[in-house]
Amino acid sequence: MSGMKQKASKGVFWSLAENIGVLGINFLAFLVLARLLDKEAFGLVALAMAYVLFLELFVRTAAVEVIIQRKTLSDLHKNTAFWATASLGVVALLLSLLIASNAGTLSGEDQLEHILYWLSLGIIPLSLSTVQNGIMVREIRFKGLAARRIIASTSSVIVALVFALNGMGVWSLVAQLLTYRFADFLALYWVTKWFPKLHFSWSAFKDMSDYGWKVLASNIAYFAGSQLDRVIIGHFLGVKTLGIYVVGQKLIEVIYMTLNGVVGRVALTTFSRLQTDQERLKQACLSVGQLTTITAVPVLMFLAVSAVDIIAAVFGDKWSDSAAVTQILAIAAIARISFVFLMPALKAKAMAGRVMTAIILQAALSVCFAILLAPLGLVAMTIGWSVGYIASTAMLIYFVGDRLSINLTELIRIFAAPLVSAFVGVLVVFFLSQQILEWNLSMYVAMGIKLCAFILAYLGSLAAIAPKTVKNAYTDISSLLINK
């Protein structure tokens, strides 16, 4: 096995371990906290974090992706990126404190100001560890990254549960987020073993900023398309409704974050190494896309058809209003899957500007439709928000067709077999649902039967429609890595 393939294989394994471990820990904690805390607590923290996450964009993503994408990276580039990011962290902290003094008045929620003051403190440890994170990803050292995030997540969850069990309410969530930031900072320095030197170069800064500003702009647009829904709901419909939305969105975000964390991160690193070979980059993108859709499409389809039962079983009956949100976002997420493998391919070709354009379209349409439909209620607003994902997917397809020579037929083929097979599974679930009602089974047993039937129907249909699809995609990826 070549060094590149071995590294990439280990990268996939540890990235998968990291995401399953971290998301598993956090999701289990979320289940407990959802039963201990009220809807207002989740809504308040979600609204506060929307402000903080916007400011964190300036210290989080641009430096990381520049470090990963560059073909050559000197110590001077690393040190310059570190001090630039640390400086931006101080500016972001000051801006966050300024926003906090006005956010409570604008939203009508007195607690929001104090929550923002505390959450702002997490910006500093983030700004001091962003470059180390980029170095670890560039070197495909995902084992260390996995250890660091699992340590940070476990620590934060323990603190949150202790706070919640002692009746601290919304401050349980604040304590969880702050503990994660500081524990992540300490663990990352422990695993990376890289410490900055007092070196800064304006020429190195300019060299990186030529690509970095496009990444930053696209990530600001991405923020607008992924976080402004919370701001809109919080200000138009109130923090209680926002809490309902956050819980309804949770399962979808866990699925997407797992895909993006495992596939997206490894894909960007691998695609970047193939950026000068158009044909191999195209084949890698199609193969990664095929494996991604085969895995994600059935999960999202089952979630859409069974959301009512799943929400009640997982979070409790008090969150039943969240089921409609989950169903709408699950369907929209099928289009969103394309982001996971198309965006890294464009970024690998230094086409961050094209990515930015697609994300800006998604953000603009989602925000406009969400604001227009918000007066009609949460369900209407969620539908409006989902419109942007469909439009931006169409634009991404156009860009990869134009620049990577991937035509529409090839992309349709990626989604066709998983969608048809998942639809067969949905029909089986609908049929079983009518029968199960007559059997008077418990909710958990009934849901287990539906899940098993769906999996069998999906796998059987996939084997009949495209028997060699999975094997061919895996073989293509492996051969590309071996030949690199």
- Helices 408-439/443-465 angle, 10° precision: 150
Residue 105 has what pLDDT? 65
Residue 371 has what pLDDT? 92
If we measure between CA atoms, which residue out of 326, 306, 308 comes closest to residue 378?
A: 326
* Residues 178, 294 share a domain: no
User: Residue 392: which domain range?
Assistant: 215-413
For residue 225, what are its two tokens? 């398309």
* Residues 178, 225 share a domain: no
* Residues 290, 155 share a domain: no
Asked whether the beta carbons of 399 and 436 are under 8 A apart, the reply is no
Task: List, for the chain, all residue ranges whose pLDDT scores fall below the cut of 70.
Answer: 1-17, 19, 61-65, 68-71, 104-108, 140, 207-215, 218, 222, 265, 350, 352, 437-438, 470-484
* Residues 240, 172 share a domain: no
* Residues 169, 243 share a domain: no
Q: Could you tell me if residue 360 is inside a domain?
A: yes
Complete DSSP assignment for 142-200: HHHHHHHHHHHHHHHHHHHHHHHHTT-THHHHHHHHHHHHHHHHHHHHHHH-----S--
Length of the chain equals 484
Q: What is the tally of structural domains in the chain? A: 2
* Residues 238, 131 share a domain: no
Residue that finishes a domain, picked among 360, 384, 413: 413
Residue 177 has what pLDDT? 93
Asked whether the beta carbons of 418 and 294 are under 8 A apart, the reply is yes
Residue 347 has what pLDDT? 76
DSSP code, position 71: S
Q: Could you tell me if residue 474 is inside a domain?
A: no
* Residues 229, 168 share a domain: no
Q: Could you tell me if residue 449 is inside a domain?
A: no
* Residues 190, 239 share a domain: no
DSSP code, position 404: S
Q: Which residues lie below 8 Å from residue 17, measured CB to CB, with a gap of 6+?
A: 146
Q: Could you tell me if residue 448 is inside a domain?
A: no
Mark 26-45 as b/e (b = at least 16 C-beta within 10 Å). Answer: beebbeebbebbebbbbbbb
Residue 155 has what pLDDT? 93
Residue 162 has what pLDDT? 95
Residue that finishes a domain, picked among 200, 225, 244: 200
pLDDT, tens only, 113-154:
889 999 999 999 988 888 888 778 777 677 777 788 888 999
Q: Which residues lie below 8 Å from residue 415, measured CB to CB, with a gap of 6+?
A: 293, 297, 334
Q: Could you tell me if residue 93 is inside a domain?
A: yes
Residue type (1 letter), 109: E
* Residues 196, 223 share a domain: no
Asked whether the beta carbons of 265 and 244 are under 8 A apart, the reply is no
Q: Could you tell me if residue 460 is inside a domain?
A: no
State the Cα–Cα distance between residues 282 and 168, nearest whole angstrom: 52
179-184, long-range: CB < 8 A, 24+ apart:
179/152, 179/155, 180/122, 180/152, 180/153, 180/155, 180/156, 181/121, 181/122, 181/125, 181/126, 182/122, 182/125, 183/151, 183/152, 183/155, 183/156, 184/125, 184/126, 184/129, 184/148, 184/149, 184/152
* Residues 135, 100 share a domain: yes
Residue that finishes a domain, picked among 348, 380, 413: 413
Q: Could you tell me if residue 470 is inside a domain?
A: no
* Residues 294, 193 share a domain: no
Q: Could you tell me if residue 436 is inside a domain?
A: no
State the Cα–Cα distance between residues 239 and 393, nearest whole angstrom: 30
Residue 183 has what pLDDT? 93
* Residues 225, 143 share a domain: no
